[in-house]
Structure 1
Amino acid sequence: MKIRDIIGILKAEILVEGNLDEEVKMACGSDMMSDVLAFVKDQSVLLTGLVNPQVVRTAEMMDMHCIIFVRGKRPDQPVLNLAEQKEISILATPYRMFTACGLLFENGLRGGCDVS
């Protein structure tokens, strides 16, 4: 799936436009960046309601290509500037995290869970 596809699925607004044709294979949803750092591997997309610079720093460390802010949340301009510097796409969706994750899963984006 491409980031461009996610925009349509989640009725998302583009806040920072990175490479919208970037292919993404997996996603995760969390408001706890410590969990993202500890448990997330090979994820391309982060869904969160946390709107501080740590989200962008975490995404950068984990080599993520896109951050999606849920529940209509919008970060301040310094956070958007940092994401632009790091070439990370930023989207905002009106959906709650559970719904947004479900819609992405339903459309083929997986979470990389080791449980079968």
Structure 2
Amino acid sequence: MKVREIIDILDAEILTGEENLDMEIKSACGADLMSDVMAYVKENVVLLTGLVNPQVIRTAEMMDISVVVFVRGKRPEKNIISLAEEAGMTILTTKHPMFIACGKLYSKGLQGRGVWD
């Protein structure tokens, strides 16, 4: 699934990273615990989270995550957006809660990955 499709599905607003709209995303991870992200995330993942702090961007950068969606209408501060821009990440925000956002992506064919994979 391409980033532009994720934007449409989630009625998301793009805050930075317009250059990645045609990037192919293979799976999604919904988490507020960055330790879970580090334990289970694989390549070409979109991260959905309600946690809005610089640690999200730092973790995404370590795990080669290029797309982060902030759920529940959360909007990161400018310093967080700047960190994402420096890393070449795409940052989105959606009004949907995490459960609904993950469900919408799953119902359109985006897979999740867990400990069983």
Same fold by TM-score greater than 0.5 = yes
Q: How far has the Cα of 1:35 moved from its partner? A: 1.0
- SS of the aligned residue for 2:20 comes to coil
Q: How far has the Cα of 1:43 moved from its partner? A: 4.7
The residue correspondences of 1:37-76 to structure 2 (distance < 5 A) are 37-76=38-77
Structure 1 residue 8 and structure 2 residue 8: aligned? yes
Corresponding residue for residue 98 of structure 1 = 99
Q: How far has the Cα of 1:41 moved from its partner? A: 2.3
Q: Is the 8 A contact 1:68 1:90 kept in 2?
A: yes
- Percent identity over the alignment is 58
Q: For this pair of structures, how many residues does the alignment match?
A: 116
Output the aligned Cα RMSD: 1.3
CA distance in 2, matches of 1:80, 1:91: 10
Q: Which amino acid aligns with 2:55?
A: Q
Segment of structure 1 superposing worse, 82-91 or 40-49: 40-49
TM-score after normalising by structure 2: 0.94
Which string of whole-angstrom CA distances, capped at 9 and with x for unpartnered residues, describes residues 33-91 of structure 1? 01111222235110000010110011111111100000000010000000011011000
Which string of whole-angstrom CA distances, capped at 9 and with x for unpartnered residues, describes residues 9-46 of structure 1? 00000011241110000110000001111222235110
Q: Which runs of 4+ in 1 moved over 4 A?
A: none
Corresponding residue for residue 32 of structure 2 = 31
Q: Which amino acid aligns with 2:42?
A: K
Gaps of 5+ in 2: none
Gaps of 5+ in 1: none
TM-score after normalising by structure 1: 0.94
Q: Which amino acid aligns with 2:68?
A: I
Q: How far has the Cα of 1:114 moved from its partner? A: 5.0
CA distance in 1, matches of 2:11, 2:89: 19
